[in-house]
Amino acid sequence: MPTLLVFFRLSVITTLSLAPAVAALAQGPTVAQPNSLSVPKKKSGQAARPTGPRIGKFVRKTSREVPDVYKGRVLTVGSGGGVVGLETAYSLLDDGRLFSKTSKATTYTFLGTQTPQNTKRVFWSVEDRCQIKKTAFDKPGNIYRFVQWRKGAEKHKVTWMPGDKTLPANYEKVYTGFMGMLPKK
């Protein structure tokens, strides 16, 4: 009887210690879940959207409308430079979708979706408060930050070195606020 009890304890301990590893292997690759980004609320009468990895029609829809070919307004905020010279950019489309891309990557990574209110507020900050269409400021340093607004062929970009005292008002606030709404790694 004591041998049976020891065997039972060992099998329970082994099963419990392997359960997370087995679950992780069975789950396969997952999509990053956004922390500070909100999930759109479903309308009454709609079926719930899948919360796991997006496959099938969802991937095709997202991959066709990346920020490079999107016809609406696109706001891109990022930074780069330094010893490596790597640039990281985050693009918010006016429909609320958020993407990221590094200068070494060939494709965009879908990060999540912003609420319509937050999307409107971010575009308002750049278009009205910062007056990006009227601002001509391009003073990058070894390390730089940028805010870019684009719609179709029209494109406006402001680039600066962190700590630049001549930077027009509100750009550093827009950069900091935008980075604060990104999902945590």
**Residue-level pLDDT at 53:** 47
CB burial of 89-118 (b: ≥16 within 10 Å; e: otherwise) equals: bbbbbbebbbbbbeeeeeebebbbbbeeeb
- DSSP letter at 128 equals I
**Angle, helix 171-180 to helix 116-124, in steps of 10 degrees:** 160
Report whether pLDDT(27) > 90.
no
Relative to beta strand 109-113, strand 97-102 is antiparallel
**Residue-level pLDDT at 174:** 93
pTM above 0.75, yes or no: no
Report whether pLDDT(173) > 70.
yes
Domains defined along the chain, listed by start: 57-180 (3.30.1560)
